[in-house]
Amino acid sequence: MGKVLIIGAGGVGAVVAHKCARSPEIFSHIVLASRTLAKCEAIQKQLPRPVDVARVDADHTPEVVELIRSVKPDLVINVALPYQDLSIMDACLETRVNYMDTANYEPPDEARFCYKWQWDYHDRFKEKGIMALLGCGFDPGVTNVFCAFALKHRFDEIHTVDIMDCNAGDHGHPFATNFNPEINIREVTARGKYYDSGRWIETDPLSVHQSFDFPQIGVREMYLMYHEEMESLARHISGIHKMRFWMTFSQEYLTHLRVLQNVGMTRIDPVLYQGVQIVPLQFLKVLLPEPSSLAAGYTGKTCIGCMIEGIKDGKPLRYYIYNVCDHAECYREIQAQAISYTTGVPAMIGAMMILTGKWQGAGVFNVEEFDPDPFMEQLNRCGLPWIETYPEG
C-alpha cells in the first residue's frame, strides 16, 4: 500500500522496522537509513522480509532530499534524534513527502525542547498539501491519544491530567539510559514545569515527588518533570485546568546522575581537552551502553498511563488508562527492550494511520487532533494493549 523511509537505526528505529516488516499489506516497501550504515545492516539481517538500507547524515537537508528523491517514499518516519527534526522536515517540504516523528525539535546547543519550531511549519506543509505528524511515540504519542479517547468517550469535561511513566525494569547496569543518553539526560536534568489554570509553573529539577502504586509493579517514587506532550495537550484538549508529568527513577539512577552533574559530565557546552573541543555530555554518551544493547536480559515491566479527572453526566469522575509492557516479552518478540518497543510500536501505528488515510490532513499536527479510535484499536492488536480503571479519589 505504501513505501516508508525510516531514518534512524537505534533502539526505536529497529522496532519500527520490525513492526512495519510484519505488515506487508500496509508497508509494501521499507527503506531503513541512518548515519551508520552498519547499524541498518544489522537490523536488516534480523527482519522477516527484505528491506533496503542506506546511509544518510540527516543533519544535512540536501543529503535527505537526495535520498528521498531516489527512494520516493510516501512517508518519512524520523526516529533519529530531535536535532534532525527540522532538517528532515525541510527535506520533506522540498520533495512534497509526508513526515512524522516521536520527539520534538531541540537545538543541539540549548537544552530546550518545544513545539514552536515545528508548529511554525504548518502553513508551508499546508501549502504543499502534505502532512507532518509530531510526537507519535508513547509519551508523547499514546498518552495524547489516551486523552483524546477519554474526552471522546469517557468524559464531558477533562479538568486534570497526570501522566505517569514508570519503568520498573532491571537491565543489570549500575547506570544506563533507556533511550538516547544525550537526549534523556538533557530532559531529566532540566527544570520541572507543570500547567495550572493557563499558566506554566516551574520547579527545581526533580524537586517535587510522590509515590504511586503502579499496576502489576507496586509502589514507586515518581518525580515531576516537564514533558512535551503537555504543551500540545494544553493547546488541543480544551478545558484542562491542571496537567503534570511524572517519571519514576531509582535511587541508584538519581545518585549516579547527581555525581555526573556535580563533576560537570552532563554539560552541553564545549570544553577544551588536549587541544580539542569536546562536549562532556556527548563524551558521556560514548561511554554509556547503547539503548538497544540493554534489551538482552532486561527484566521487569513498564507502566505508562494517564490519571484523568473531570465530569461525566454532571458527576465527578476519576479515570486511569494505562499500558503495561514487559521487557523480556519485547525481547522474545523482536529483540527489543520495552522503552524502544513502547515508542516504536506507536510510531508504526501512526504511519499506518497516515498510509491508510485514517488520519489525513495538510499541515502540521499532533496526534490528539485526530480520531483516537482506529489508533486505540491498533494498540490492542500490535502489542500495546490498554487497560481502563475507575479508581476512587
* 358-362 LR contacts (CB < 8 Å, sep 24+): 359/131, 359/133, 360/131, 361/131, 362/125, 362/126, 362/128, 362/129, 362/130, 362/131
Set of cell numbers at residue 270:
564545549
User: What is the four-CA torsion angle of 369, 373, 374, 376, rounded to 10 degrees?
Assistant: 100
Give least dist CB 249 to ligand NDP, A: 15
CB 233 within 8 A of CB 147: yes
Is residue 103 helix, strand or coil?
A: coil
- Piece in contact with ligand NDP (CB under 6 A), picked from 132-140, 204-212, 274-282, 329-337: 132-140
Is 291 a residue that touches ligand NDP (CB under 6 A)?
Answer: yes
Q: Which of 6, 32, 79, 281 binds ligand NDP (CB under 6 A)?
A: 79
- Piece in contact with ligand NDP (CB under 6 A), picked from 81-89, 202-210, 213-221, 373-381: 81-89
Query: Contacts with ligand NDP in 152-171 (CB under 6 A)?
Result: none
CB 302 within 8 A of CB 171: no
Q: How far apart are CA 184 and CA 257, in angstroms?
A: 11
**Chain position carrying cell 511554525:** 120
Shorter beta-carbon distance to ligand NDP: residue 248 or 340 = 340
Q: Which of 27, 149, 179, 341 binds ligand NDP (CB under 6 A)?
A: 179
Set of cell numbers at residue 119:
508548529
* Conformational region of residue 122, where left means phi above 0, alpha means psi within -120 to 50, and beta covers everything else: alpha
Is 293 a residue that touches ligand NDP (CB under 6 A)?
Answer: no
Q: How far apart are CA 363 and CA 81, in angstroms?
A: 22
Give least dist CB 62 to ligand NDP, A: 13
Q: Which of 141, 192, 280, 310 binds ligand NDP (CB under 6 A)?
A: 141
Is 58 a residue that touches ligand NDP (CB under 6 A)?
Answer: yes
Q: For ligand NDP, how many residues bind (rule: CB under 6 A)?
A: 36
Say how far residue 46 (Cα) sits from the centre of its chain: 23
Shorter beta-carbon distance to ligand NDP: residue 189 or 340 = 340
Is 369 a residue that touches ligand NDP (CB under 6 A)?
Answer: no
Give least dist CB 137 to ligand NDP, A: 2
DSSP lists the bridge partners of residue 132 as 99, 364
Q: Which of 11, 192, 310, 363 binds ligand NDP (CB under 6 A)?
A: 11
Q: Which of 10, 305, 310, 372 binds ligand NDP (CB under 6 A)?
A: 10
Shorter beta-carbon distance to ligand NDP: residue 98 or 143 = 143
Shorter beta-carbon distance to ligand NDP: residue 1 or 279 = 279
Q: Give the amino acid at 150.
A: A
Q: Which of 4, 9, 230, 325 binds ligand NDP (CB under 6 A)?
A: 9
Query: Contacts with ligand NDP in 26-55 (CB under 6 A)?
Result: 34-36, 39
Shorter beta-carbon distance to ligand NDP: residue 140 or 310 = 140
Is 102 a residue that touches ligand NDP (CB under 6 A)?
Answer: yes
Set of cell numbers at residue 370:
485526530
Is the torsion defined by CA of 328, 39, 227, 170 positive or negative? positive
Is 189 a residue that touches ligand NDP (CB under 6 A)?
Answer: no
**Chain position carrying cell 499541515:** 363
Q: Give the helix, strand, coil percentages of the chain, each rounded to 5.
A: 40, 30, 35
Q: Which residues bind ligand NDP (CB under 6 A)?
A: 7-13, 34-36, 39, 56-59, 79-82, 84, 102-103, 137-141, 179-180, 183, 290-292, 339-340, 343
